[in-house]
Structure 1
């Protein structure tokens, strides 16, 4: 299966737009996760590894044109969940990676400390099965690199790589300005004719614009990209609890799970059903999973793109709410907040019709410190 349809020139132009290469940029590194017994291989994952290998080869061919000295690729055993910490060891393995598994890279590869790879690289690209965004964001601050993560990338996303990201940047900066000034965001959901409201506390927080251009120091974000996100206030200031409260509905198949939110945490599942029971037990086992970690405002739907069945792309189409880890976005919930390191997660729930057909965002209203209110979404479409 061949996932790649980008020519060498297309790829070079994409990288130049995304990274705006500097004279100091000398080492570009691809990092790619591989299957194991707990998470077996599948066609899209195999094709993504092949794409990464192809991009590595093409980037190696034009590295001198963009001032790079080294373009390298490393593999690692998948970490079991989205946005969990990366393993301590990477592997340099020769040859095409279609048949690579955790066992194969250990047997055939050269083991290299993850910290050593991070310390020597200037730019990182992570086309992975499980999202490496959270750990890469934190590592970038420690090791001073820039990068882009591409979890779950599939061929249907290729049109998104050809967008005018200058226009995307302009659009999301407009949203960032509003979120930076707001102190509350009220989200009203329509679930099969019944309304639920989540009042989100935005005090003590600034939004982040993720436009697909990673030109600033120590910055990592998704590609494709096109969203402005903000971490709700999590109540970390003594004597100043979070005001985030209400009900958040999420559709799993035919079932609607209703989470009761208090203090920016999902503290109870109000609904009944098989998935409701599963979510209820997840909150009991891992209270940190219930943290409301992000409110995302994707704009790529305005650029004519459609849902493709992968969070990397679909969350950029409209409103999404994430549960779990938040410290990589500027919050306080980190892997240490979880009881089991294997269950560290940051998971997005995306409110677009193709993914949650029975839930509509009836409206989203921002409240500002001066008391003014502004409606920014109606019937799942942005109005600003």
Structure 2
């Protein structure tokens, strides 16, 4: 058995508890169908009723899959989405989970990521830290991010934190694989200030020069930096420029590689996202969801410092 097939088998067992005769659906696109095929073969080895479907690559993260695939997702026991762009923040994912599917999204996953980096983490430890951070977010009212003399402040009062532990063994559980983050939807319209993005950006990759964003009433009003114009083009002129998410990375094996799936999980980073958040407690439906990673920030929750230059103080 090849190393990659063995990793896929272990992932299906340890992270999704795939069992014999379960309906296992692997969704891939043209660019990721080879990795999807390995997961399909691993599912067959476990005795699952495995199905692998391939679709045309989506234009951007957050765009819905074809209706036929959305229906198949809703009628499966376990779903894995191995795609170029993320299906995490789609109605198809939300509806499948509501119907009881255990679901993992793997946007941008690479063979290297399977064999090294975030996938190799001890997910017992990742789960423990992620759930601890989520509990802090659950009771938070205000969050402040500081870096390089800039500060962004927003409310999360009344919103629940979401754990993405990498372990989805119960009916209706879902998240990214590889994983390791706790995140929350900020209250729309409350964010004011500036934030320096210096890690990576969905659709752009790892960045060598920072992007500084100015935000007023929860929306980007100015962006400065080498990649600023491309970012704004990805987000569009509408609701895509609204702050949608704040997240904290909890995976100590993750690396910043330019693939946001792994980048946003890196221990010592936080990320913000713009666009849709209706699938995890917000009210924005934008047809796009773009994550931006910040390395080694200071973070205050209700004026208590919880991260200092990337080091957790939880």
Q: TM-score range by the shorter chain?
A: 0.7 to 0.9
Residue number in structure 1 paired with 2:260: 311
Residue number in structure 2 paired with 1:380: 310
User: Which of 2, 22, 25 is 1:26 aligned to?
Assistant: 22
Q: Write out per-residue CA displacement over residues 48-103 of structure 1, whole angstroms, 9 at most, x where no aligned residue.
A: 4212112212321221xxxx3x1111111122111211122xxxxxxxxxxxxxxx
Residues 1:281 and 1:315: Cα distance change in structure 2 (over 3 Å)? closer
**How many Å apart are 1:319 and its aligned residue?**
0.6
Residues 1:263 and 1:16: Cα distance change in structure 2 (over 3 Å)? same
**What does 1:86-97 correspond to in 2, within 5 Å?**
86-88=65-67
User: Which of 145, 158, 180 is 2:138 aligned to?
Assistant: 180
Q: Is the 8 A contact 2:8 2:38 kept in 1?
A: no
Backbone CA RMSD of aligned residues: 2.4
Unaligned runs of 5+ in 1: 35-44, 89-112, 235-241, 336-343, 353-359, 368-372
Work out the CA distance in 2 between the residues paired with 1:381 and 1:312. 21
TM superposition outliers: structure 1 runs of 4+ over 6 Å: none
Residues 1:375 and 1:145: Cα distance change in structure 2 (over 3 Å)? same
Q: If you compute each CA radius of gyration, which structure gives the higher value, 1 or 2? A: 1
Q: Return the TM-score normalized by structure 1.
A: 0.72
Matched, 1:52 2:33: no
Residue number in structure 1 paired with 2:89: 134
Q: What is the SS of the residue equivalent to 2:113?
A: helix
Matched, 1:61 2:45: yes
Q: Return the TM-score normalized by structure 2.
A: 0.86
Residue number in structure 2 paired with 1:210: 164
User: Which of 258, 274, 277 is 1:323 aligned to?
Assistant: 274
Matched, 1:269 2:222: yes
Residues 1:293 and 1:161: Cα distance change in structure 2 (over 3 Å)? same
Residue number in structure 2 paired with 1:153: 109
**What does 1:222-233 correspond to in 2, within 5 Å?**
222-233=176-187
Unaligned runs of 5+ in 2: 199-203
User: Which of 199, 212, 215 is 2:153 aligned to?
Assistant: 199
Q: Which has the larger helix fraction?
A: 1
